[in-house]
Structure 1
Amino acid sequence: MALINKIREKSGIAVTVIAISLILFMVGGDLLGPNSLLGGSNNQVVGEIAGKDIDIKDFQSRVDAFRQNYEAQSGRSLSENELASLRDQAWNQFIVDIAYKKQFDKLGLSVTDQELFDMVQGNHISPSIQQAFSDPTTGRFDKNAVINYLKNLKTLPAEQMKSWANFEKSLREERTRAKYENMLRLSTYIPKAQSEKEYMAQNTKANVKYLYVPYFSIVDTTIKVTDSQLETYLSEHREEYKGTDTRSIEYVTFPVQPAKDDSSALYTEIKELARGLATAKNDSSFASMNTDIPLPINMSLANMSDQLKEAVKTFVPGGVYGPYREGNTYYIYKYGGTRTDTVSSARASHILIRAENQSDSAKAAAKVKAEGILAQIRAGANFEALAATSSADPGSAQRGGDLGYFQNNGAMVKPFEEAVFSATAPGLINRLIESQFGYHIIKVTATKSNTLYHIAAIGKTIEASQATRDEAYRKADEFVNSVKNKEEFDEAVKKNKALVLATANRIPETATNVNAIQNGREIVRWAFKDDSKINSVSPVFETEDQYVVAVLTGKSEADKVTIDDFRDELTTKVRNQIKSEQITAKLKGATGDLETIAKKYGAGALVESATDISLATGFLTSAGFDPIALGKAFGLKPGQKTDVFTGENGVFIMELINKTDAPKIADFTQYKTQLTQSLESRSSYLVNEAIRENAKIKDKRAKFF
C-alpha cells in the first residue's frame, strides 16, 4: 500500500523506474526482507536448542505439516492466532526431539512396536486415540472404528497416511515422556528426619507478643533513593534479577478518519433505513438484513453500549430512535418493550490484589495488603484512585476498577459472581472476596436486573474512501521524511498540534500488539532489528485504521541487566532498607516492656499478640505470615525478647510468652506422605524447567514471524 501510494505521488518518474519498483514490491519480501540475502543477513537460524541450530526451512516444514493436518481435520483455513499457536507447537516439538530425547536416550527409554499396538488397539488405549475415535453424539469410544480405519489406511490419500504416521510418532513421544516423568516422580524420597521436622513445625504451638513497625508507617516521599544505591543493591542481588530482551518506543499516529463527504453520504443512507425500519412488519429481519454490526434483538444492560444504556431510558415501545454515532458507526434503534429474562445482569468495580506466588506466605501477605486497602476505602479513600494505583487487573485498573455490566452465567469466577449478585444495594462490599486470582475488593455500581429490552438495531460503519486513506498516508510520509532522529522527531511533534505522542515501554520481542494497536507486529520487528539504533526513526507502518511512525527510545538486553529494567522494584527494596535502618536506629537500646518501647518510638509502632501459632501456619495480625519473625520467636525461651530485627515487611521485637512442644509420636507416615505428594505434584513442572534451562534454548522466531 505504502509503495503504491508513493508511486501515485511521483507520477513524473519514468516508466522504467516504476516497473522496477513494482518488481521490487512483488519480490521484496524474498530479496530485501530482514533475513534475506540482499537485506543484509543470510542468517536462516530460527533458534538454538542444546547447541543445535534450528533452520527456518526445517521449522517451517514442521509448521506446514501441522497446518495441513489441522486444516484436513477442521475443513477450514487457520486464523492468524491459530497459526501462531501451531508455531508454538512446532517449536515445543523441536525441544522434545532434541533436549528431551537426550535425556531419554541416556536412560534407554523407548516405546516398542508392541507397546504402540497396545496403545492404539490393545488393552491400554491412549487417551489421544480414545478422543480421536469417540462417537461425537454419545462420546463413547469405539475400538472397532480404530481397527477399521487401520485396515483401510493404505487406500487413503497420501496426506492422510502421512498424517497418521505423524500421529503415531506423537503417541510414542507422549508415552516416552510419561515414562521419564513417572520415573523421576517415583524416585521422590523423604527421609524420616524431614518428616519429623514437618511434624514439629505443624504441631509445636506458641503464644507470642511482638512490637511491629511496618514500612508503610513511613511515607515513601520522605525517603530519597539515588541511582548509586540502586546500582549497589542490584550488584549484591544480581541472581534475583533476570534480564529480558525488550524495546521501548514513542510513536505518533495518523488516523484514517472518514472525511465529511464519507460520513454525509452514510448519514443520508441511514435516515432512509430509519424510515424502512419504522414501517417494517418484521423489524428483526429488516435490521439483520441491513446492519453492518450484528446485535442481539433482545439485549440486557450487559449487552448495551454506555450510550444506549442512557438512551433506552427514554424509549417508548414502537418508536425508532437515532442515529447515534459511536466511533465510525451510526446506529438506529426500534424499541419493542421489555420482558423478564432467566439471566440477570449487574455492574461492579473491583481492586484485585494478587499473591506473588502460590506459597502460604505470599497469599497471607496479599491478604494483609488487601485488608489495608479495604480499610482505607471504609475510612473514605477514593475507590477509583486506589484501583488505578493498586489493582493487579490492568484492564479494569485503567477505568478505576470498572468491569462494566456482566451476567450471572459464569462470566465471572463463582465467588465474585455470588458476592455481586447477592448485593441488594449499590455500594462497597464490606469484606474481601477470595478467588483463584487473588483477593477482590468489590464495589457494586448497579445491582442485579433481569430485564431484557427488545431492540431491533441497525449499525452502519463509515468507510474511509481511498482518497481519504491516501491523504492520511501523505501526512505520515511527509512527517517521516522531515525527521532523522529523536530530537527532530520531538520537535516536529511539538510543532504539529494535531499529533499526540504515545509511549510503549518494555515491549517483548514476541509481542503482536503495541498498546492499543492490535496488529503492531511489524513495528515490534522493526524495533528489534539489528540496525534499529536508539533514537532512530521508523518508516511508516500501516495498521487497520491508521499509519504509525515510531522512534526507538530504549533497549533492555537479557544478558545485560540495568537498574532501569527493574527501577520500581529496586526502588521499593532500597527504600525499605533505608526505612529499616531508620526504624532500627530509633528502637536500638530501648528498654522496658513492649508497650513502653512502642510509646517511646511514637506513631507507627504496634504491639500485638498471637496465640496458638506454629512455624508452619503462624499468622501475625498486622504483619501477616513472616517466616523471619516466626523463626526468631520459636528460638526464644519463655519470657525472653529478641533484639530489634528486620522482617519481611517491617521491623520487629518478638517476645515468647510460652511454647508447647509437639507430643512425641513414633509414626511420621502422615507427614512423610504430605511432603511426598507435594513434591510429586511439582515434579513434572520442575523436570520441564530443568531440561529447558540445561538446553540453553535461544528462541529467535520473533525475527521471522
Structure 2
Amino acid sequence: MALITKIREKSGVAAAAIAISLILFLVGGDIFQGRSSFFGGSSDVVGEIGGENIKFQDFQKKVEELSQNYTQQAGRGPGEQELAQMREQVWNQYIMDLAYGKEYESLGLSVTPKELVDMVQGENIHPSVRQQFTNPQTGQFDKNYVIQFLKNFKTMPVAQQQAWANFEKSLSQDRLRSKYENLLRMSTYTTNAEAQKEYTAQTAKVDVRYLYVPFYSVADSTIKVSDSQLEEYLNSHKDLFKGQNTRSLQYVTFPVIPSKADTASFYNDIKRLAKELAVTKNDSAFAMMNSDVKTPYYATLAEIPEAVKGQLSSMVVGGIYGPFKNGLSYSIYKYGGVQKDSLYTVRASHILINADKNAPDSVKAAARKRAEGILAQIKGGASFEAMAQQFGSDGTAQQGGDLGYFKNNGGMVKPFENAVFGYSGTGLLPGLVETDFGYHVVKVTEAKTNTRYKLAAVNRTIAPSQSTMDDVLRKADAFASANDTKDKFEAALKKDKSLLMLRADRIQEGATGVNNLQNARDIVRWAFNNDTKIGAVSEVFQNDNQYIVALETGATSKDVVKVDDFRDELTARVRGDLKAEQITKKLGGISGTLEQMAQKYGAGALVETVNDLTLAQGVLTSAGADPTALGKAFGLKVGQKSKPFKGEAGVFVMETTKSTPAPAIADLTIYKNSAKMMAAQRTSFYINEAIKENAKVVDNRAKFY
C-alpha cells in the first residue's frame, strides 16, 4: 500500500479517489495474473456542495456499491477503517464533480480517450499504473504486463472490470486536476521587486542593543481581567477567534476486569489444553485452533519471547512448557526440535554519521573522521548506546542505535549486510562500514543464526466472562439511572471516590475517539445529537472492556463565538496588553542609557546585544523571534533609540548600533526562482481551499456516521 500513500501525498482530493480505487482493484491480488442508527437528526442531507444538496440515501448507495465490490474481491466485508476510506472517497468524488467539475467545464478542460490510453499504455504512463505494473524480477515497469492485462480484461469478473473502470476514471480526474493546477501555477510570477525584497531580507544586517521587560516578570495575580475587557477584545479581534462546533464531556468508566472465578476457570482451561496438546499428533493445527493470538510454528530466535528463550537449551522434543505470562495472556508450548533455515537472522546496533554518496570529498572525509573518533571512544570503553544517542543521525539513535532483528535477504543495503553477516559472534565491528548513507559504527548484539525452533504455542488471554460483564453493566446502568442530572452526577463522583472520572474538552464533530477511547463514535454522536443539551447524562456505552457514562459539560458553535469558548487565550492576551501598558508607562518616565533605564526600572529589566540580525532569520536572545522588535531594529537609524513599545511577549526599548545594507547584486535570478518555487508549492493547497470556499462546502457526515 506504499503506492496509495505516495498518491495521497501528491494529489490531494484526486489522490484519495485513486487510492480507494486501487484498494478495491488490487485487494484481490496480482492484477495481471487475475487473482483477484446512522442519523444524528431528522435531516437527510449529508452535505451541500455548490448549492446542491447531497441526500444521505444517494451518498450511502455509493458507499454500499464500493463496499460490495470490496467484499467480492477481498472475500470479506470492509472493516471500519476501510469503510471510512470509502466514505471519504465518495465525498471527495462529490467535490470533484460538483466543485472542481464546474471549474473544469468553464475552462473547457477535458481528458480525451487518446490521453487516457497514453497514461495507461502509451509514452506517458501515469505513476500509479507504472508502479503497479512493475516486473518483480527486474524492479522495472513492464508495459507488456499492461497489454497482457488489457487483453484478458473482458474475461475477468464483472466486479474487477468495474474496479478497473473506476480506477481509470480516477486517473482522468487526476490528470484534469493537474491541468487545472498547472494553468494557475503558470499564471503566477515573481516580480523583480519581490526578488529584491527576498534578497534584502536574507543579506541586510543590523547590530542592536535593547532593553527588554518580559511580561512574565509581572505577576499574573497583580493584573485583574474583567469579563467586559474579554468581551471587548473578542469583538475587536474576531478574525483571530474562529468558531468551531465542539463538545466537552465528563465521563465515568466502569472497567470490566476478570473476576476470581474467571481467573480460576481460565487456569483450569489452560491445564486442560496443556494435557491435550501433549498427546495430540497434529500439534501445530491444535495450537492454531485453540489460540487467541496465532504465532508461527517455526520460529526464529527473534520471534520467541524472552521468557521462553531462557529455557530452550533445557527443552526436550515433545515436552510441554509453561504457562508463560505476557500481560493478560498466557502461553503453553510444545517443543518439536529445530530446523535449519536457508536465511540467517542477526541483531545489531549502529551509529550512522551521514555522508551522502554524492557529497563532496571534503564532506565525506569530515564524516569519516568523526565516525572514526566515535569508534575509538567506544573501543576505549565508552558506552555504545550513549554514543548512539548523542551522535546517531537516524531514527535508531533514541533506542541506542538498536536495529532489531533482520535477515540476510536484502532488507539492509549490501555493504552493511555483508559486514554484519560476515562477522562471527557478538561485539563491536573493528572498522567502519561505508554505505551510500554514510559511515556506520556497528555492534552485533545477538550472533547470526539460521536455526528455527518448532514451537506449537497455545496463546490464551484471560477475559471476563459474560456473567462478569453483566455485573459491571448493571452497575453502570444503575449509576446512569440514579444520576441523570448534572448535579446528581457530580454529587455521586464526590461521594464515591472509587469511580474513575475523566474529562474530554473541545471534541470535534468528526472525531472517532475520545481521549484514549478508540472507536468512540457512538459517544461523539450522542454528544452532538440535537437532543443532547449541556447537563445531559448519557445512556451506558460499551467501549472495549469497559462501560462509559458521560455528562455533557460544554458546547461551542462555529456560528456563535462566546468569551467562554476562548477564555484562557483571551485572558492571556488581555493580561499581556495590561502588563504592556503598565511597563510602558513606567519606562516612559525614565531617561538615560539602556543600562541606566534598566537599573531605574528594577527587577525584570534585561539589557542584551545581538549582532548580524537579518529580517529573514532574526532571533533575539531572551525574546526569541519577535517580528515587531525585528522590524523596529531595521527601521531605526544607527545610534537612534526607540520609545518603549510592545512586542510579542514583553516591552522593548531598541537601539540600532550598526547597519550593513544588502550589497548591490546584478542578477536576482536565484532569489526570484526561490520565491517562485515557494509560491508554486503552496498552489495545490490554496486552490483546494479556494474551490471549497467558493462552492460553500457544508459537510454533515459526522451526523450520520
When normalised by structure 1's length, the TM-score is 0.72
Is the aligned partner of 1:85 residue 2:64? no
Q: Are the counterparts in 2 of residues 45 and 700 from structure 1 also a CA contact under 8 Å? A: yes
- Shifted more, 183-192 versus 583-592: the winner is 583-592
Aligned to 1:91, what secondary structure does the other structure show? helix
Residue by residue over 1:592-636, the C-alpha shift from the partner in whole angstroms, topping out at 9 and shown as x without a partner, is 111111122223222221222222222222222222112111111
Question: Relative to 1, partners in 2 of residues 1:493 and 1:420: Cα closer, same or farther, differing over 3 Å?
Answer: closer
Question: Relative to 1, partners in 2 of residues 1:212 and 1:498: Cα closer, same or farther, differing over 3 Å?
Answer: closer
Residue 633 of structure 1 is matched in structure 2 by 633
Is the aligned partner of 1:418 residue 2:402? no
Question: Relative to 1, partners in 2 of residues 1:323 and 1:108: Cα closer, same or farther, differing over 3 Å?
Answer: closer
Q: In 1, distance between residues paired with 2:445 and 2:222?
A: 51
Q: In 2, distance between residues paired with 1:646 and 1:118?
A: 61
5 Å-filtered alignment, 1:255-266, equals 255-266=255-266
Residue 538 of structure 1 is matched in structure 2 by 538
Q: In 1, distance between residues paired with 2:313 and 2:587?
A: 73
Q: Are the counterparts in 2 of residues 619 and 625 from structure 1 also a CA contact under 8 Å? A: yes
Residue 523 of structure 2 is matched in structure 1 by 523
Q: Are the counterparts in 2 of residues 270 and 323 from structure 1 also a CA contact under 8 Å? A: no
Q: Are the counterparts in 2 of residues 133 and 141 from structure 1 also a CA contact under 8 Å? A: yes
Q: In 2, distance between residues paired with 1:303 and 1:653?
A: 66
Q: Are the counterparts in 1 of residues 347 and 446 from structure 2 also a CA contact under 8 Å? A: no
Amino acid at match of 1:45: V
Amino acid at match of 2:575: R
Q: In 1, distance between residues paired with 2:679 and 2:106?
A: 24
Q: In 2, distance between residues paired with 1:177 and 1:285?
A: 53
Amino acid at match of 1:161: Q
Residue 191 of structure 1 is matched in structure 2 by 191
Q: In 1, distance between residues paired with 2:214 and 2:611?
A: 20
Q: Are the counterparts in 2 of residues 344 and 407 from structure 1 also a CA contact under 8 Å? A: no
Amino acid at match of 1:238: K
Q: In 1, distance between residues paired with 2:77 and 2:520?
A: 23
Q: In 2, distance between residues paired with 1:124 and 1:492?
A: 69
Residue 342 of structure 1 is matched in structure 2 by 347
Residue by residue over 1:443-474, the C-alpha shift from the partner in whole angstroms, topping out at 9 and shown as x without a partner, is xxxxx99469x999875322222222222222
Q: How many residues align?
A: 575
Q: Are the counterparts in 2 of residues 512 and 520 from structure 1 also a CA contact under 8 Å? A: yes
Q: Are the counterparts in 2 of residues 211 and 605 from structure 1 also a CA contact under 8 Å? A: yes
Amino acid at match of 2:183: M
Q: In 1, distance between residues paired with 2:150 and 2:334?
A: 58
Amino acid at match of 2:90: A
Aligned to 1:501, what secondary structure does the other structure show? strand
Is the aligned partner of 1:35 residue 2:14? no
Is the aligned partner of 1:610 residue 2:610? yes
Aligned to 1:247, what secondary structure does the other structure show? strand
Residue 138 of structure 1 is matched in structure 2 by 138
Residue 19 of structure 1 is matched in structure 2 by none
Question: Relative to 1, partners in 2 of residues 1:233 and 1:325: Cα closer, same or farther, differing over 3 Å?
Answer: same
Q: In 1, distance between residues paired with 2:331 and 2:584?
A: 65
Q: In 2, distance between residues paired with 1:549 and 1:409?
A: 47
5 Å-filtered alignment, 1:265-280, equals 265-270=265-270
Residue 234 of structure 2 is matched in structure 1 by 234
Q: Are the counterparts in 1 of residues 200 and 662 from structure 2 also a CA contact under 8 Å? A: yes
User: Residue 657 of structure 1: CA displacement?
Assistant: 0.9
Q: Are the counterparts in 2 of residues 246 and 506 from structure 1 also a CA contact under 8 Å? A: yes
Question: Relative to 1, partners in 2 of residues 1:471 and 1:566: Cα closer, same or farther, differing over 3 Å?
Answer: same
Residue 478 of structure 1 is matched in structure 2 by 478
Amino acid at match of 2:626: D
Q: CA RMSD in A?
A: 4.1
Residue by residue over 1:1-20, the C-alpha shift from the partner in whole angstroms, topping out at 9 and shown as x without a partner, is xxxxxxxxxxxxxxxxxxxx
5 Å-filtered alignment, 1:578-597, equals 578-597=578-597
Q: Are the counterparts in 1 of residues 386 and 400 from structure 2 also a CA contact under 8 Å? A: no
User: Residue 72 of structure 1: CA displacement?
Assistant: 5.4
Is the aligned partner of 1:679 residue 2:684? no
Q: Are the counterparts in 2 of residues 345 and 450 from structure 1 also a CA contact under 8 Å? A: no
Q: In 2, distance between residues paired with 1:149 and 1:85?
A: 27
Aligned to 1:253, what secondary structure does the other structure show? strand
5 Å-filtered alignment, 1:288-327, equals 292-293=292-293, 326=327
Q: Are the counterparts in 2 of residues 195 and 668 from structure 1 also a CA contact under 8 Å? A: yes
Q: In 1, distance between residues paired with 2:630 and 2:552?
A: 49
Residue 95 of structure 1 is matched in structure 2 by 95
Q: In 1, distance between residues paired with 2:70 and 2:386?
A: 34
Q: In 2, distance between residues paired with 1:409 and 1:704?
A: 50
When normalised by structure 2's length, the TM-score is 0.72
Q: Are the counterparts in 2 of residues 134 and 140 from structure 1 also a CA contact under 8 Å? A: yes
User: Residue 184 of structure 1: CA displacement?
Assistant: 0.8
Q: Are the counterparts in 2 of residues 47 and 698 from structure 1 also a CA contact under 8 Å? A: yes
User: Residue 71 of structure 1: CA displacement?
Assistant: 4.8
Residue 114 of structure 2 is matched in structure 1 by 114
Question: Relative to 1, partners in 2 of residues 1:571 and 1:478: Cα closer, same or farther, differing over 3 Å?
Answer: same
> Structure 2: which 5+ residue stretches go unaligned?
1-36, 316-320, 338-344, 352-384, 403-442
Question: Relative to 1, partners in 2 of residues 1:483 and 1:74: Cα closer, same or farther, differing over 3 Å?
Answer: same
Question: Relative to 1, partners in 2 of residues 1:341 and 1:208: Cα closer, same or farther, differing over 3 Å?
Answer: same
5 Å-filtered alignment, 1:62-73, equals 62-71=62-71
Amino acid at match of 2:263: S
Give the share of equivalent positions with the same residue, in percent: 51
Is the aligned partner of 1:172 residue 2:167? no
User: Residue 295 of structure 1: CA displacement?
Assistant: 7.3
User: Residue 317 of structure 1: CA displacement?
Assistant: 7.4
Q: In 1, distance between residues paired with 2:350 and 2:545?
A: 33
- Shifted more, 287-296 versus 247-256: the winner is 287-296
Residue 394 of structure 1 is matched in structure 2 by none
Residue 653 of structure 1 is matched in structure 2 by 653
Residue 428 of structure 1 is matched in structure 2 by none
Q: Are the counterparts in 1 of residues 350 and 401 from structure 2 also a CA contact under 8 Å? A: no
- Shifted more, 139-148 versus 189-198: the winner is 139-148
Residue by residue over 1:337-387, the C-alpha shift from the partner in whole angstroms, topping out at 9 and shown as x without a partner, is xxx9523599xxxxxxxxxxxxxxxxxxxxxxxxxxxxxxxxxxxxxxxxx
- Shifted more, 489-498 versus 195-204: the winner is 489-498
Aligned to 2:500, what secondary structure does the other structure show? coil
Amino acid at match of 2:95: I
Residue 548 of structure 2 is matched in structure 1 by 548
Question: Relative to 1, partners in 2 of residues 1:313 and 1:649: Cα closer, same or farther, differing over 3 Å?
Answer: farther
Q: In 2, distance between residues paired with 1:283 and 1:500?
A: 44
Q: In 1, distance between residues paired with 2:624 and 2:53?
A: 49
Question: Relative to 1, partners in 2 of residues 1:34 and 1:685: Cα closer, same or farther, differing over 3 Å?
Answer: closer
Question: Relative to 1, partners in 2 of residues 1:199 and 1:451: Cα closer, same or farther, differing over 3 Å?
Answer: same
Question: Relative to 1, partners in 2 of residues 1:540 and 1:605: Cα closer, same or farther, differing over 3 Å?
Answer: same
User: Residue 644 of structure 1: CA displacement?
Assistant: 0.6
Residue by residue over 1:68-89, the C-alpha shift from the partner in whole angstroms, topping out at 9 and shown as x without a partner, is 4545565554221122122112
Amino acid at match of 2:348: V
Residue 560 of structure 2 is matched in structure 1 by 560
> Structure 1: which 5+ residue stretches go unaligned?
1-32, 347-405, 424-447
Q: In 2, distance between residues paired with 1:303 and 1:556?
A: 51
User: Residue 643 of structure 1: CA displacement?
Assistant: 0.7
Q: In 2, distance between residues paired with 1:468 and 1:55?
A: 43
Q: In 1, distance between residues paired with 2:513 and 2:173?
A: 35
Aligned to 1:561, what secondary structure does the other structure show? coil
